[in-house]
Structures are given as structure tokens and as C-alpha cells.
Amino acid sequence: MRTPLCDLLGIEVPIVLAPIIAPVGAPAGPLLAAAVSEAGGLGTIALWLAELGVLRTRVREMKSLTTKPFAVNLRLDLDPDVRLDACLDEGVRIITMFWGDPSELAPRAKAAGAVVMQTVRSADEARMAVDCGVDVIVAQGWEAGGHVWGTVATMALVPTVVDAVAPVPVVAAGGIADGRGMAAALALGAAGVWIGTRFLVSAEANFHARYRERLLAASETDTIYLENLFDGGPWKDAPTRVLRNKTVAAWEIAGRPPVGQRPGEDAIVAVSASRGNIERYAPVAPVIDVEGDIDALPMWAGQGVGLVKKIQPAAEIVREIAAEAQSVLARLGTTGEN
């Protein structure tokens, strides 16, 4: 299955592993991303919070694990310039950007020869990004897990973004967890899909067993969109979608009080070998080195979690989604090539 996105990025199947910030600090970031790249998709590592030395190490790990294309994700409101320079210096060819205005960074990355992808929440933002030179638009619907940039659902967002920027390729993100979702995204005009939640239970992701257990058991109604409950550190007034948990339940019972008045505001609920003490509302997902009250921590997940049923190697997930999409499209009498 090939689309113009494959030619532009040099990949074989138009499936992108969404950047997942949580594994930073452990080698599962590159391990997971490289597995997706090796399977013919685009692996992405989120390095927007990484110190420059760590960033360079992660990029080198990636290059030692795969010779295929991969991307680095940078956050536009958190000193992206120096990180971009380090990425370019390390030979990163694809940069994905989110959470802000790409007008300064996109031209700089383009001038250095990189392919630039930008996550948007509206057709207007997509147009602005393309005007700045962005090569690929990622349209993130609010079904998405993790931090959610907009409030429009994928089904409504993708076609308006496609219409706004054609022929620039659009990648659909949010709620896509199997081949049926991929086929639907292609039917909406997307040139590829960007998947996070399904890969949280890949064999290579280093999340805590309890987080995986909850992901595998969750239905499509078990997530909640929160304006700012898990704010702190690098995140302020940053909406997220997570699995409902005891922290969310206690906050709801307390009448959804604002930041500063939430129940158990400063309580230490867990500890991590790499990060130290974790406060109740800290935006820290349970990775394998966390111990304590795991059920109190934010477990990011999109609504597609209801389709996530087993732990599988990332390559198998890529192959399974691509094959299923292809058979759905064949059944519907189309090839999926937009």
C-alpha cells in the first residue's frame, strides 16, 4: 500500500508511530521507533524535553538500530531551536513539530533540507503551516490519547484539512487503532495514519505492567478529556485524554475544583528511579521504573483504546493494520491511493 506520503518520506507503508514522550530516559523510545521503521512505517522519537546530550544519544541509538527513515518530534514552545540544530547536526531528516506556531522553525528546518511535519487542529492552522513551508500536515482529532491540541473529532477534521491544503499530504491522527480506521482515514483523503494508543501495548514500549493491563481492559468509553488536570512541569493548561482513574474520580467527586484546590494536591503518590518523587497531578505516565500508587498516575489513552486487545511486537502491529486496511479497501473496491 503506497501513497504520496511514502514517496515523500521514503517509507513503504503510510503508518507513522506517534511520538510518545514517556519512554524518554529509557531505551524503549528508539527501540520502539526503530521497530516501526524497520517494518516499513515511520518511527518517531519525542525529544522535545531531552537535554542536548541525551537528544544526540537517542538519535545515535536510533541510527544504530535502523538505516530506514525516522523522525524526531519537537515541541514548538520549548526551546526548539537548539534541539533542531542538534537534530540536523546528527543527520535527522524528518522533523515533526507540535504545540505551537511553526513559522520560525519550519523554514529553518526546510533550509537545512529536512522534511517538516506539523500537527494541527483546524483547516486554518493547516493552511498557515503550509504557508510556512510545512511538507506534511498531521490532523489530530480529539479522540487522540496524550496531549490533545484541538477539539474537533478526526472524522470531521481530516476532510476539511485535506480540502484546505491539497495536494499537501495530510496524516490522520486520533482514534485510529486498526486497519478499519486506517481505511476510513484514507477514504477521508488522508495520505497516511499516525497512531499512538495502539503502540502503547507494543512489546517494545516500556510502560508499567499495570498501565498495559488497564489499556488492554479498557473500552472506548473509559477515557476522559481533561482541560488541565494533569498539569505541571512542562505542561500548563494543556488538555489531555487519559483513562479514568482514582485521581480523576476523586477530583470529580470534589466538584472538579481548579488547579491549587484539587484533592491531595501535593501528595507524593509514586517514585521513579529516573525522575524521583511523583506528585499526584504530575504529568508523568507510569513507565516500568515507577513504583507506588500506579492507578493514581495519568494513563494516557485515546478512544481507540477499545480496539487494543493484545500485546504484540510493533512490526506485527504495522503489518496487521496495513493488511487489514488493504483488505477493507479491496472489499470496498478501491486501492487506498489518494
Ligand X SMILES: Cc1cc2nc3c(=O)[nH]c(=O)nc-3n(C[C@H](O)[C@H](O)[C@H](O)COP(=O)(O)O)c2cc1C
Stretch that binds ligand X, among 5-13, 137-145, 157-165, 266-274 (CB under 6 A): 137-145
Distance CA 27, CA 325 (A): 31
Distance CA 151, CA 104 (A): 25
**Does 46 engage in binding with ligand X (CB under 6 A)?**
yes
User: Could you say which of 140, 223, 272, 338 contacts ligand X (CB under 6 A)?
Assistant: 140
Residue type, 276: G
Least separation, in Å, of the C-beta of 300 and ligand X?
4
Question: In the structure, how many helices (H) and strands (E) does the chain have?
Answer: 12, 14
**Does 23 engage in binding with ligand X (CB under 6 A)?**
no
By the 8 A CB rule, do 32 and 287 touch? no
* Cell triple for 158: 481530516
Least separation, in Å, of the C-beta of 80 and ligand X?
12
Least separation, in Å, of the C-beta of 66 and ligand X?
20
User: Could you say which of 6, 8, 22, 76 contacts ligand X (CB under 6 A)?
Assistant: 22
Q: Among residue numbers 203 through 242, which ones bind ligand X (CB under 6 A)?
A: none
Distance CA 73, CA 117 (A): 9
User: Could you say which of 30, 174, 283, 336 contacts ligand X (CB under 6 A)?
Assistant: 174
**Does 300 engage in binding with ligand X (CB under 6 A)?**
yes
Least separation, in Å, of the C-beta of 319 and ligand X?
17
Least separation, in Å, of the C-beta of 294 and ligand X?
15
Least separation, in Å, of the C-beta of 103 and ligand X?
18
* Residues paired with 272 in a beta bridge: 276, 290
DSSP 257: P
Beta-strand (E) ranges in 115-222?
A: 115-120, 136-140, 146-147, 170-173, 192-195
Distances (CA, A) of 289 to 67, 310, 312: 29, 22, 21
User: Could you say which of 3, 119, 272, 312 contacts ligand X (CB under 6 A)?
Assistant: 119
**Does 175 engage in binding with ligand X (CB under 6 A)?**
yes
Size of the site for ligand X (CB under 6 A): 28
Residue nearest to ligand X (CB): 196
User: Could you say which of 146, 189, 283, 286 contacts ligand X (CB under 6 A)?
Assistant: 146
Distance CA 299, CA 94 (A): 28
**Does 21 engage in binding with ligand X (CB under 6 A)?**
yes
From first CA to last CA, the distance across the chain in angstroms is 11
User: Could you say which of 42, 304, 317, 322 contacts ligand X (CB under 6 A)?
Assistant: 304
Distance CA 256, CA 248 (A): 9
Cis amide bond preceding 263, omega within 30: no
Which C-beta is closer to ligand X: that of 174 or that of 179? 174
**Does 283 engage in binding with ligand X (CB under 6 A)?**
no
Q: Strand 146-147: give its sheet, edge to edge.
A: 146-147, 240-243, 223-226
**Does 285 engage in binding with ligand X (CB under 6 A)?**
yes
User: Interface residues with ligand X (CB under 6 A)?
Assistant: 18-22, 46, 73, 98, 119, 140, 143-147, 173-176, 194-197, 200, 285, 300, 302, 304
